[in-house]
Amino acid sequence: GDLLTLNLGTGKGHSVLELVQAFESASGHAIPYQVVARRPGDVPAYYANSTRANQILGWRATRDLKTMCADAWRWQSNNPRGYK
């Protein structure tokens, strides 16, 4: 069959530090980290352009980073062995 590949995301880039801070907020725990120089090839932020998903499926992300991390933390906390 035909294969359709779509990006799902908010279209807004987030840094690794923003992700760490969002998961710290979600978990209530400090996450140890060090800020160091970017390595060759590292990008400053990650994002997904979901324009095609919106055009084809009518899909659009409705949650912000903090909410997504809180949902991920809640799910993982309730399912420590993963999906069954």
**How does pLDDT run across 27-58, given as a tens digit for each residue?**
999 999 999 999 999 888 778 899 999 999 99
Number of domains in the chain: 1
- Write b or e for each residue in 6-29: b if 16 or more Cβ atoms lie within 10 A of its Cβ, otherwise e: beebbeeebeeebeebbbeebbee
In a domain, 13, yes or no: yes
Where do we find the tokens 């809640």? 74
Q: Which domain holds residue 65?
A: 1-34+43-76
Q: pLDDT grade, residue 1 (50/70/90)? A: confident
In a domain, 16, yes or no: yes
pLDDT at 62: 93
In a domain, 82, yes or no: no
CATH of the domain at 67: 3.90.25.10
What is the pTM (predicted TM-score) of this model? 0.77
In a domain, 59, yes or no: yes
Q: Which of 77, 83, 61 is nearest to 27 (CA)?
A: 77
In a domain, 63, yes or no: yes
